[in-house]
A = this chain, B = another copy of it.
Amino acid sequence: MPIYAAPLRDMRFVLNELAGTAALRALPGCEELGPDLIDPVLEGAATFCTEVLLPLNQSGDSEGCTLANGAVRTPQGFREAYDGFRAGGWTALAADPQWGGQGLPKSLGALVEEMICSANLAFGMYPGLSHGAYMAIAKHGSADQQALYLPKLASGEWSGTMCLTEPQCGTDLGLIRTRAAPEPDGSFRITGGKIFISAGEHDLAENIIHLVLAKLPDAPPGTRGISLFVVPKFLPTAAGRPGARNAVTCTGLEHKMGIKASATCAMAFDGATGWLVGRPHRGLAAMFTMMNEARLGVGVQGLGIAEVAYQNAVAYARDRLQGRGLDGAAAPDKPADPILVHPDIRRMLLTMRAMTEGCRALAALVAQAHDVGQRHPDAAARQAADDYVQLMTPIIKALFTDTGWEAAGLGMQVWGGHGYIRDNGMEQFARDARITQIYEGTNGIQALDLVGRKLGTHAGRYLRSFFHPALAFIEAQSEVPAMEPFLLPLSKAFGRLQQVTAEVARRGLSDPFEAGAAASDYLRLFGLTALAFAWARMAEIALRQGPEPEGFYKAKLATARFFMQRILPETSSLAAKCLAGGETLREMDAALF
């Protein structure tokens, strides 16, 4: 069975030393954020993930969910785990204290999320979706809706869903057909079919609160005619208890490549009772205000998978004896050396490690900006922080989920034939990771968001939130000799990114197809450069440390050097691909494919 131990040392490093908790403590509601608060949360989550969630990951994958008479049964043990998850207060971590939450910042929450995703990605979908519904109502619901639903969602007594996709539309939500007809009492009758609804039906919570995109009778066509509705499985009574069964049913469960313990439902709304959330026809905008956070969350899923794949690949590489080191026998008393001695095994492990730790660092920086953007008393400070979050969101979603898939693949490769065997658990990481590149906006859509919405907006203001600090860092460190091995590659990549950004933006202005043609390669170029900046900052911190028995900073520096020499060079090819232009994509006649 796969192992997992939360990387607490590295999590404390990115939170306390890289991002720094001082800025967080300056935020309203975060004044108490010191080790006394942080350590029990991280350690408690680590214990719960290793002891409760991890043991259910493989069994959940084997059993999957089952549908009978409209009821979905989750795999054995999930109900008890969910009860324990609720009892531990984990559903309430990020919720507002006014609704029974703990009001902890994203900076801490994202680390807990990562652990959950490492231990059991499928399980994490249930509270993850509830959090999305919580956010939708918290940001756009009426005071009554908030009072009714938020305490239940925060406590996890009720769970939530996001009902967007229909058979004929995923990316293009303007094609939605689900209808909402107004009733005299102010409610609406919702009619239509939704697919791919995670946690649409299950046996973990006593009620399920669906957030549904649908069209009002007078809706203008396209995406500007979509409204958001709350549609509970059981209509709440006046006392706020689950009452009459609503006309929403699960009509099918998808059989998927992975996350099999997550119920992916086809849902039928047959004149179900719902209530408008926010303003008519503004449902998509409401969804989009949450989308950033959901996309960051999916990015963290990729990171979580990458971490657990790495840990298990290292464990195997230490154990498995095969061949002799090219430098001579490392374990002459044994029949062969551990495969950890082989350079290509090390290349794979260090690739996983450098990407994983780099992503964790970037996630911590963005999570902190998110907290500042949400909580800072000064509007200008909020905006500056939010600019950075806006810019980084598509990068985190796409780069991290690609990393999860690639790391899972490398982990399997380190395990050789044994990585292909289901019992060993490595292949599940790949199957589970694969969906993260697709849902919550495919990674191609993230790339279009970056070049189409983030590049030019506000005369490049978003861009400056990354470019200015990176440039300032490079300038400030340019006289530090020990930083040269990190700063030189960073500067080179940064220069490439600047050049390509200007060119892609210029071409995109006159020809959007050109921007689209460069988008995916550009996102990865940007992402790797952002990781390089994070790695250089981590190296700078590590270089300032004295001797340490643990070797943490020594490993940090070694991994930073590996990143700079063996991963970052990819930016040269990516730049060339971006600059190659879209002509070769346009040239091929549709009929000739």
Which positions in A face B, CB cutoff 8 Å? 165, 168-172, 174-175, 196, 254-258, 314, 317-318, 321-323, 325-327, 335-336, 338, 340-350, 353, 405, 409, 412-413, 416-417, 419-423, 427, 430-431, 434-435, 437-439, 442-444, 447-448, 512-513, 515-517, 519-520, 551, 554-555, 558-559, 561-562, 565-566, 569-574, 576-577, 580-593
Contact = CB atoms under 8 A, between A and B. Distances in A.
Given A322-B169, A516-B342, A566 B558 contact: no
A437 B413 contact: yes
Contacts of A326: 512-513, 515-516
B257 A344 contact: no
B172 A255 contact: no
Given A257-B420, A438-B420, A590-B340, A569 B558 contact: no
29 contacts: A168-B321, A170-B322, A172-B321, A172-B322, A174-B336, A175-B321, A255-B421, A255-B422, A256-B421, A257-B421, A257-B431, A314-B593, A317-B593, A327-B512, A342-B444, A342-B516, A343-B513, A343-B519, A344-B448, A344-B519, A346-B585, A430-B434, A558-B588, A558-B592, A561-B587, A562-B588, A565-B580, A565-B584, A566-B580
Nearest to A447: B344
Given A327-B513, A587-B558, A412 B431 contact: no
Nearest to A589: B551
A165 B413 contact: no
A175 B345 contact: no
Contacts of A322: 169-172, 175
Given A350-B584, A421-B256, A585-B562, A318 B590 contact: yes
B419 A438 contact: yes
Contacts of A434: 409, 412, 420, 427, 430
A561 B584 contact: yes
Contact of A584 (B257, B327, B423, B566): B566
A432 to B, nearest CB: 11
A579 to B, nearest CB: 9
Given A350-B584, A584-B566, A413 B438 contact: yes
A593 B352 CA distance: 11
A-side interface mostly = helix
Among A174, A566, A577, A590, the most chain B Cβ lie within 10 Å of the Cβ of A566
Contacts of A573: 569-574
Given A343-B582, A431-B431, 15 more contacts: A171-B416, A175-B321, A256-B422, A314-B593, A318-B593, A341-B590, A344-B448, A344-B519, A416-B438, A551-B592, A561-B584, A562-B588, A569-B573, A572-B572, A573-B574
Nearest to A347: B585
Given A254-B421, A569-B573, A588 B344 contact: no
A96 B343 CA distance: 42
B431 A417 contact: no
Nearest to A422: B255
Contacts of A338: 590
B439 A585 contact: no
A338 B593 CA distance: 13
A276 B592 CA distance: 55
Contacts of A344: 444, 447-448, 516-517, 519-520
B438 A417 contact: yes
A216 to B, nearest CB: 19
B442 A416 contact: yes
Given A434-B420, A435-B420, A520-B344, A554 B592 contact: yes
Given A573-B572, A592-B558, A343 B585 contact: yes
